[in-house]
Structure 1
Amino acid sequence: MTQHRGETPQTYCELDAGDREYVVGVVGTGPGFDTILKIVAGEEFREFLPPMRLAGVVDLAFDDPRRAGALLAGVSAYPDTSALFAAHPDINLVVDLRGGGTARAMAAELPQGASLLDSTATFFLCALSNAVSAGAHCRRRLDHQKLLLETILDEVQEDIVLLSAAGLVEDLNRNILNRLGKSKDELVGRHCEVLRSGPDDPPLCDPNDVACPFRVSLATGKKAERLHTAVSADGRLRYYRTYTYPVAGLAGHIAHVAVFRRDITDRTLGEINARQAERIETMGRLSSYLAHELRNPMFAASGFARRLANMTELPEAARERATIVVEELTRMEAMLKQFLEFARPVGKVSSEADADANRAVGDAVLAVRPEAEGRGVGIAVALVSGVAAVAFDPALLKQCLINLLRNAVEAMPDGGLVTVTSGRDADRVRVRVADSGRRMSSENLENMFSPFYKAEHCEYGLGLAMVKKVVDDFGGAVEASGQPGGGCAITLHLPPALAGPAFADAAPVNPDAGHSPGDGS
């Protein structure tokens, strides 16, 4: 936080001295001598007084230690005023510190146009010195407090800006400058809209939005806040919380509004993941209960229906209806099996159960390709060879990838392209499945891993929820992001197997080869 652009230091008194320099002679070393030296020859008073130069001193003892001081450097000492005035006829100000009425007697020999200050008048100069010293002390304290406040505000990893009632930027912290890549002079005095880095960056103030915290604080004189969601340029969902605090002026009306904006993405995603995990756990218990309670009645009903469908003595119409019952019960049995798989706890794998991520991708692509081609969806695969083994059950990893591929295919009813890639990010193995379907909204990105979530153009069952549950149980992570041109990308971040070898011989899958990587075909 610094002085506003164009602001000039305040002055209390403007001396009508023009460019005149005062050439000063000091007579005597009585009380106030050190103070007069500081006023005339020191730097502390330069901003308060016109230019002054000490020409000479009278009655300064030869052994006076002050002769060696910086204030008297280059200044000559004289035995009397006559010698002083003769050496410096340009003296125009004389300070007499001898006292005892000597000033009146000296007035007659002053150089023409020179002024005289006696020992009584120098009292006011000493008072000025004390006032300036006190002011300097206060200034140092204020500078220290200002520096401390600037440091605190600049080190806070949040956006902090002070806006006028008209929405103009009065001041802002370094976090905003670093984010925008601009200097403070480029932003101060301009409308707050310049603080947005792009359309995916929520505004710090929007005077046209009645719910904007900036407008609310101006209207109510109270603190306001708001939660913003935005899909960043890389397709990831970001969460921001904006707080505004009104600042009253001297007249009592709201003159400024302090705006704080915090990126709460990590915290919010943690809360969302916790809620989703709780829903999945509840769904798992409910699924297990329903599956066990319905399985026996359904098996019995299915057996009777099959028997009826095979009884030749029944009319054809009755056997057809029994066949329909068998088909529906079979569909319900498959659904119950899915519920049981969802409810089944995933155990930790042993070192013998490590999976080859590239091979799992190849197997999943082979399983889904016929269905994808039937819907007019192509699958492109680009895998990095030699990716480390992952601490994951091979069959479960394949099933997770099948679920992701089928979800991507179903997201493109009019055809499209699914792209599968693999690689390594820091200490995790990355497998990414991306489709070219509809653009994802922030609501879709936030809820797509919730069981049976239904959006405007799509409906999610247990497939993605099952993927998240399994990957989380194995110590991995699942991330969803929108595609710049539309569609969704889901990335699995999988833990590598401890002390496990990389699958150096596993070649990337050729989507047109019709086999999985490394099978020797």
Structure 2
Amino acid sequence: MTQGSGERAETYCVLDADEREYLVGVVGAGPGFDTILEIVAGEEFREFLPPMHLAGLVGLPADDPRRRGALLSGVPVYPDCRALFAAHPTINLVVELRSGVSRREILDAMPPGASLIDNTASFFLCALSNAVSVGAHCRMRLDHQKLLLEAIVDEVQEDIALLSAAGTVVDLNRNIVHRLGQPKELLVGQPCSVLRSGPDDPPFCDPDDPACPFRLALSTGKKAERLHTAVSADGKLRYYRTYTYPIADASGKIGHVVVFRRDITDRTVGEISARQAERIETMGRLSSYLAHELRNPMFAASGFARRLANMESLPEAARERAGIVVAELTRMEALLKQFLEFARPVGQAVPGRADADADANRAVLAAVEAVRPEAEAKGIGFALALVPGVAAVAFEPALLKQCVVNLLRNAMDAMAHGGVVRVSSGRDADRVRVRVADSGRGLTHDNLENMFSPFYKADHCEYGLGLAMVKKVVDDFGGAVEAAGEPGGGCAITLHLPPALAGGGADAATLPGGTP
């Protein structure tokens, strides 16, 4: 750029000048004219150039259609440079585009302090225009891709977070924001520990844990994953799988890690239930085989032992020993009966049959009365909360009573020092609910996962066949069994039972919306 008004030429860069608005005059309509108009009037150039305003033009033919364009609306056209500069003495930037006017003539007529960009230098402005256009196009595409990616990530119902190598939150999806109930702006920039909703929530990263997937991804540069278990606020066991993916920069250095955490509880519970069902089926076949093989010799041995115990000709010590044999064989017979009950196939209730449906409240009351003497001997009481008129269930009454008895005995076994067993009934959505809760020993993750497996043993507890039998029977009747820890210790087991179909039994009229 050259300073005019007859003084010695002095070059400098406009962008080095003080920030000010430039009043522009254009002389000539040669190549680059349209681009210069866009640069002066276009908003997309404001972040690259100082503010500019087009004062007037010289050399644009009267019949040129561009005169009627939006960029030239209200812009006057003058016959020569002197007329332009006379009308606008405050012009401080002149652009010459092959006007046929000599450079000296323009310099002599320019207002003092004005700068000139000739047709050669205007090439760089055109190049800037092209660069800005390309940049705007790239930015538009990037914005589109960003919006698309954000929409996809936000619609994923799992937790997704982008963490820096230092373990701070760089970005996160909407699922985490909703779960935590905090604005995204408050979470970004914080340590990754803020993404945990509570102490039982698996961490997104734990720099102190060598097996942490975040740490493994940073150290190995490879994908890592891990299965977590946690007990939710309602005491139910939940399963999570965390995946981490390292992100390297152009130099190969890992600067970020994407953490993807999925709640796989439903899938895992289904897999565990399938394994338990397989074990129960195997146990049932084995029980049936053993029961039939042992039944006859055991009954024979029991009969001989009873005879010996009643023979007065035998010494007293011999009769006492025979009595011990009788007692032990009786206990074995009871266990054998339990095996046979466990192995016995259970079918669905048949609508229309007199004994096809069961009254859940009646089954609970009968079960409580059956175990009450045993409970009183252990200093255990019962607190009942039964909803009157709860729907009849499609269940064999005797089997439902036995299932509740097994739950009550399991609760009593967990309360070595006495206490109260809470029993309730009700309805959740389309299922009838029977719930038995104790205040005994607390449950571990392993207990919650395996307590319905036959003869499962853990520290200070043994579940035998009782709970396995309950699950087998309830599953066979189309229901479900759910276990959860209780606040402050203890366990609650809930039976979710299918209601009886209208017309399927004597109590069908108690169904909501049923016809008496």
Q: TM-score under structure 2 normalisation?
A: 0.92
After TM superposition, list the pairs within 5 Å mapping 1:101-500 onto structure 2: 101-351=101-351, 352=353, 353-500=356-503
Using the TM superposition, name which of 460-469 and 256-265 deviates more. 256-265
Using the TM superposition, name which of 74-83 and 119-128 deviates more. 74-83
Using the TM superposition, name which of 65-74 and 232-241 deviates more. 65-74
Q: Counterpart of 1:166 in structure 2: which amino acid?
A: A
* C-alpha displacement of 1:189: 1.8
* C-alpha displacement of 1:379: 0.6
The equivalent of 1:37 in structure 2 is 37
* C-alpha displacement of 1:389: 1.3
Q: Deviations over 1:211-246 (max 9, x none)?
A: 212222223332222111111111000111112222
Q: Deviations over 1:56-109 (max 9, x none)?
A: 122334444333332223322223322221221111111122344533322211
Q: Counterpart of 1:436 in structure 2: which amino acid?
A: S
Q: Give 3-state SS (helix, strand or coil) of 1:291's partner.
A: helix
Counterparts of 1:82 and 1:135 in 2: how far apart (Å)?
38
Q: Counterpart of 1:46 in structure 2: which amino acid?
A: R
* C-alpha displacement of 1:427: 1.0
Could you tell me whether the CA contact under 8 Å between 2:348 and 2:478 is conserved in 1?
Answer: no
Q: Give 3-state SS (helix, strand or coil) of 1:44's partner.
A: helix
The equivalent of 1:517 in structure 2 is none
Counterparts of 2:379 and 2:509 in 1: how far apart (Å)?
33
Counterparts of 1:502 and 1:358 in 2: how far apart (Å)?
14
Could you tell me whether the CA contact under 8 Å between 1:204 and 1:259 is conserved in 2?
Answer: yes
Q: Counterpart of 2:424 in structure 1: which amino acid?
A: T
Counterparts of 2:213 and 2:369 in 1: how far apart (Å)?
53
Could you tell me whether the CA contact under 8 Å between 2:59 and 2:99 is conserved in 1?
Answer: no
Q: TM-score under structure 1 normalisation?
A: 0.91
Fraction of identical pairs, as percent: 78
Distance 1:66 1:348, change over 3 A: same
Q: Structure 1 unaligned segments of length 5 or more: list them.
A: 1-12, 506-521
Q: Counterpart of 1:461 in structure 2: which amino acid?
A: G
* Aligned length, in residue pairs: 493
Counterparts of 1:14 and 1:222 in 2: how far apart (Å)?
51
* C-alpha displacement of 1:406: 1.1
Counterparts of 1:67 and 1:183 in 2: how far apart (Å)?
52
Could you tell me whether the CA contact under 8 Å between 1:378 and 1:417 is conserved in 2?
Answer: yes
Q: Counterpart of 1:181 in structure 2: which amino acid?
A: G
* C-alpha displacement of 1:503: 6.0
Using the TM superposition, name which of 254-263 and 434-443 deviates more. 254-263
Matched, 1:89 2:89: yes
Q: Counterpart of 1:231 in structure 2: which amino acid?
A: V
The equivalent of 1:55 in structure 2 is 55
Q: Give 3-state SS (helix, strand or coil) of 1:243's partner.
A: strand
Distance 1:221 1:188, change over 3 A: same
Could you tell me whether the CA contact under 8 Å between 2:393 and 2:499 is conserved in 1?
Answer: yes
Q: Counterpart of 2:440 in structure 1: which amino acid?
A: G
Could you tell me whether the CA contact under 8 Å between 1:387 and 1:503 is conserved in 2?
Answer: no
Q: Give 3-state SS (helix, strand or coil) of 2:462's partner.
A: coil
What is the RMSD of the two structures over their aligned residues, measured on CA atoms? Answer: 1.8
Counterparts of 1:319 and 1:503 in 2: how far apart (Å)?
59
Counterparts of 1:57 and 1:144 in 2: how far apart (Å)?
39
Using the TM superposition, name which of 94-103 and 352-361 deviates more. 94-103
The equivalent of 2:4 in structure 1 is none
* C-alpha displacement of 1:502: 5.0
Q: Deviations over 1:310-345 (max 9, x none)?
A: 222222222221121111111111111100000001
Could you tell me whether the CA contact under 8 Å between 1:418 and 1:434 is conserved in 2?
Answer: yes
* C-alpha displacement of 1:253: 3.2
Counterparts of 2:476 and 2:360 in 1: how far apart (Å)?
17
Q: Counterpart of 1:463 in structure 2: which amino acid?
A: G
Q: Structure 2 unaligned segments of length 5 or more: list them.
A: 1-12, 512-516
Counterparts of 2:376 and 2:326 in 1: how far apart (Å)?
30
Q: Counterpart of 2:478 in structure 1: which amino acid?
A: G
Counterparts of 2:494 and 2:100 in 1: how far apart (Å)?
95
Q: Counterpart of 1:468 in structure 2: which amino acid?
A: K
Could you tell me whether the CA contact under 8 Å between 1:356 and 1:503 is conserved in 2?
Answer: no
Q: Counterpart of 1:362 in structure 2: which amino acid?
A: L
Q: Counterpart of 2:371 in structure 1: which amino acid?
A: V
Q: Give 3-state SS (helix, strand or coil) of 1:299's partner.
A: helix
* C-alpha displacement of 1:475: 0.4
Q: Give 3-state SS (helix, strand or coil) of 2:120's partner.
A: coil
Q: Give 3-state SS (helix, strand or coil) of 1:314's partner.
A: coil
* C-alpha displacement of 1:282: 0.3
Using the TM superposition, name which of 28-37 and 486-495 deviates more. 28-37
Counterparts of 1:342 and 1:15 in 2: how far apart (Å)?
90
Could you tell me whether the CA contact under 8 Å between 2:456 and 2:462 is conserved in 1?
Answer: yes
* C-alpha displacement of 1:303: 1.3
